[in-house]
Amino acid sequence: MGNDGGSIPLRQELVKQKSKVAQLDIDLKRSLHKSLFTQCSLSGASLRDPIVSCGFGRLYNKEAILEMLLNRSLYPNAPAHITSIRDVLQLSMKKNEETDRWMCPLSRHEFNEAHKFVYIVPCGHVFELSAFQTVGGNECVLCSTAVNKDDIIPINPSTEQEKALKERLEKLAQQGKTHSLKKIPNSKKNSRKEKKRKLPSEASTTEHRETKHVHTDKLVA
């Protein structure tokens, strides 16, 4: 070894190279995480109003979602859990008039990866999580909508948070509801409700027929 004109890297050099690779990996992850707050998760285009979010807290341009629903072939990576506009909720985000960037209306921190943001279903108002918790978190401070803790959706959540969000969607589906809390069209639960609503009218029709039959019998007699 060493007679071929090459050189053997020292341990110190190997450690430095490994550190550089690790740093590049960290920088890449940071860059990807940052893009989640600035780019549509479907089209990759810059986020712009109106912005919507799915039950997993991902952000989309509403225009892209509508295009996908009309023609899914336009987006090969179309999310399978979005099959209707009811599966997303339009967000209401506050802009800083000076910077023209989105921010939390409470803390005034800029909307980015440096802070944890959430939004409320069904009103769609967006807040920095810590600021929202500081004011109580029982209702939306902007519109007074009552807040269910399960309907506080983390934006770009962690893997653990995604599991909880999946459970929420499954629970809502059992109730015949979508992420936005709107009814699922033609769901079995809603169909049963429709049948129950029809029963009284059907009973009234039967009574009417029986009454008519009695009157007819009297006339014949």
pLDDT digits (tens, 9 = 90+) for 61-70: 999 999 999 9
CA distance 68 to 82: 9
Three-state SS for 56?
coil
* Beta-bridge partners for 9: none
Q: Which residues of the chain have pLDDT under 70?
A: 1-34, 187-221
- Pull the structure tokens for residue 188: 């079995």
Question: What's residue 136's pLDDT?
Answer: 81
C-alpha closest to that of 54 among 70, 68, 41:
41
State whether the Cα torsion 185-53-136-171 is positive or negative.
Answer: positive
Q: Is residue 204 part of a domain?
A: no
CA distance 162 to 150: 12
Q: Is residue 110 part of a domain?
A: yes
- Pair 89, 119: CB distance under 8 Å: yes
Question: What's residue 137's pLDDT?
Answer: 78
State whether the Cα torsion 32-36-42-44 is positive or negative.
Answer: negative
Q: Is residue 77 part of a domain?
A: yes
Q: Is residue 217 part of a domain?
A: no
Task: Please give the radius of gyration of the chain, using alpha carbons only, rounded to the nearest integer.
Answer: 28
Q: Is residue 201 part of a domain?
A: no
Domain count, the chain: 1
Give the long-range contacts of residues 198-205, CB within 8 A, separation 24 or more.
Answer: none
Question: What's residue 198's pLDDT?
Answer: 42
C-alpha closest to that of 143 among 155, 130, 125:
125
Q: Is residue 193 part of a domain?
A: no
Domain residues for the domain of 49 are 27-175
Question: What's residue 185's pLDDT?
Answer: 87
Task: Supply the CATH number for residue 36's domain.
Answer: 3.30.40.10
Q: Is residue 218 part of a domain?
A: no
Q: Is residue 59 part of a domain?
A: yes
DSSP summary character for residue 45: P
